[in-house]
Amino acid sequence: MSLLLYNIFLILYRLGIGIAANFNEKARLWLRGRKDWKDRLTAALGEKKAPVVWMHCASLGEFEQGRPVLEYIRKTKPGYTLVVTFFSPSGYEVRKNYTGADHICYLPLDGYRVAKDFIGIVQPDLVIWVRYEFWYHFLHQLMKKEVPVLLVSGLFRSSQPFFRWYGKLHRHMLSCFRHIFVQDEDSKDLLNSVGFSRVSVSGDTRYDRVSAIAENFQPLPLIEAFVNGSKTVVAGSTWPEDEEELDHFANSEPQVRFIIAPHEIGETHLKEMEKLFNNTVRYGEWEKRWKELQATANPPNVLIIDNIGMLSRLYHYATVAYVGGGFGEDGLHNILEAAVYGVPVIHGPVYDRFPEAIAMLDAGASFAVNNALELESTLRRMLEENAAYHEASAAAETFVRTRKGATNTIINYLEENRLLTN
């Protein structure tokens, strides 16, 4: 891709978002969040008085990957100014009030003038980009200003433009990074194949993040009251296609508790879920009436989570977990949040872009299913066959525990190369 084509792509992307905003709430949030960004950023940061670390994340999942590094910097360098940017509303809207950073905002759409102005206001001393998203003008400006840029938890595939004949522009973007930390040897080999040698295999920082959450687990009394000693399926980050695979089993097994945390919690979606599942209660209602509902002859066996932020702790209460996204084009959501508690994981068939999913399947810690019949069969085996369950549970716990350490590798690099000094 040439720079001209890239700039045309940016124009068309902006036009597409503008059209989509007429009927899509996420597109409206994307536009609204970037309105008057320059004035708001200038007012928020003011005159530079301390070193600035800027971390950019595409969305929520990438933020969770970068968070362990960010929190280390906050703990060890309390005088630093930390700036976090998101490209997607799915990340910004959930983490806009995160207290571990000094300023959180949307990254404005790439462009020569935009990138120059943004970097001129932020004046970063260190930039950390998480996993992916490569914006030419931002990276080129940072390189021109000799600002060190790191990529953490990177994951590369041979089908990406970096490794194709037309990928000259993308290979230039690679050269803008001081160092790239990747999840696996295959990614390192691909980067080496195009002449990029400043790369280390660190693993995935998500293992450190989910382990920290589990180690600092705080109980949820209302969830404990709902589970009430019953075998429980926690279904996290579900989409409608996931819920359609689950509803028959949940409706036919009233003695099993189901806790479902959908990816989207809009009112329309929640009402559709209530139609699918026969005996449901929303968390907001359970919070108000749980004693009354629990005392009925037929208490609800499906709890629909109608808020954001509980999921990582909900998996603690699971006998078995179902993780959504594997029946749709977006792909699988975070399976490590459940596995860290020693919980066997079930998911749909779309997982080939997720190396942790492939590795967990090989380790016997998770199970991929193609339809509702396979899902029900696997659920029954995990809920009824103790030997099979305990084997999968032990495999899940071991899988996460033995893969921690990516954050320390990155931190050691920062310290050894004096990238966190005034």
Confidence at residue 393, expressed as pLDDT on a 0 to 100 scale: 97
Residue 123, Cβ neighbours under 10 Å: how many?
A: 16
Does residue 12 sit in the same domain as residue 57?
A: yes
Judge residue 203's burial from the number of C-beta atoms within 10 Å of its C-beta, 0-12 exposed, 13-18 middle, 19 or more buried: buried
Which residues form the catalytic set?
62
Q: Are 314 and 295 in contact, with CB atoms under 8 Å apart?
A: no
Do 406 and 210 contact (CB within 8 A), yes or no?
A: no
**C-beta of residue 62 within 8 angstroms of C-beta of residue 403:** no
The answer to whether 106 touches 37, Cβ cutoff 8 Å, is yes
Q: Confirm whether 7 is domain-assigned.
A: yes
Q: Give domain status of residue 385, yes or no.
A: yes
Q: Identify the domain containing residue 277 by its residue range.
A: 213-401
136 with 149: CB under 8 angstroms? no
CA dihedral for 40, 54, 175, 192, sign (positive or negative) = negative
CA–CA–CA angle 84, 184, 152 (5° rounding): 15
**3-class SS at 382?**
helix
The one-letter code for the residue type at 110 is D
CA distance 214 to 316: 8
344 found inside a domain: yes
Indicate which CATH number applies to the domain containing 159. Answer: 3.40.50.11720
Kindly calculate the radius of gyration of the chain based on its CA atoms and give it in whole angstroms: 23
Instruction: Give the pLDDT of residue 370.
Output: 96
Q: Which helix (H) or strand (E) holds 322?
A: strand 320-323
**Co-location of 179 and 63 in the same domain:** yes
Give dist(CA 270, CA 282) in Å, integer: 9
Q: What is the reported pLDDT for 422?
A: 57
- Tell me the C-alpha distance between 322 and 315, whole Å: 10
Domain assignment present for residue 208? The answer is no
Looking at the structure, do residues 235 and 167 belong to the same domain, yes or no?
Answer: no
Tell me if 41 sits within 8 A of 74, measured CB to CB: no
For residues 31 and 21, the answer to whether their CB atoms sit within 8 Å is yes
* Same domain flag for 105 and 233: no
Per-residue pLDDT, 290: 94
| CATH number of the domain to which 318 belongs | 3.40.50.2000
In a domain, 317, yes or no: yes
Structure pTM? 0.85
Task: State the helix-helix crossing angle for 60-76 and 206-215, rounded to 10 degrees.
Answer: 70
The residue type found at 142 is L
Q: What is the pLDDT of residue 353?
A: 85
Q: Are residues 261 and 186 in the same domain?
A: no
| Series of mean pLDDT values for 10-residue runs along the chain (422 residues) | 90 94 91 93 87 94 93 94 94 91 96 96 96 93 96 94 94 96 95 96 94 93 96 96 96 96 92 95 96 92 93 96 91 94 97 92 97 96 97 97 94 94 66
Helix 240-252 and helix 372-384: axis angle, to 10°? 50
- Are residue 296 and residue 308 in the same domain, yes or no? yes
Indicate whether 169 and 242 sit together in one domain.
no
Question: Could you tell me if residue 164 is inside a domain?
Answer: yes
Alpha carbons 325 and 243: distance in angstroms, whole number: 10
Domain co-membership, 154 together with 236: no
User: Is 278 found in the same domain as 155?
Assistant: no
Work out how many domains the chain is built from and give that number.
2
Number of other CB atoms surrounding residue 125 within 10 Å: 19
Tokens of 23: 């009927």
| DSSP helix/strand/coil, 89 | helix
Q: What interhelical angle do 267-276 and 240-252 show, nearest 10?
A: 30
My answer on whether 409 and 371 are in the same domain is: no
390 in the same domain as 304: yes
Gap between the terminal Cα atoms of the chain: 39
What is the distance between the alpha carbons of residues 420 and 249, in angstroms, rounded to a whole number? Answer: 53
Q: Rounded to an integer, what distance in angstroms lies between the CA atom of residue 223 and that of residue 234?
A: 11
Q: Which two tokens stand for residue 64?
A: 């969770």
**Residue at 321 is within a domain:** yes
**Those residues with Cβ within 8 angstroms of residue 284's Cβ, 6 or more apart along the chain or in another chain:** 306, 307
**Structure confidence at residue 49 (pLDDT):** 81
Q: Give CA angle at 46 (44, 48), nearest 5°.
A: 125
What pLDDT, on the 0 to 100 scale, is given for residue 125? Answer: 96
Residues 265 and 197 in one domain: no
Give pLDDT, residue 331. Answer: 83
- Exposed/middle/buried for residue 248 (C-beta within 10 Å: 0-12, 13-18, 19+): middle
Residue 421 resides in a domain: no
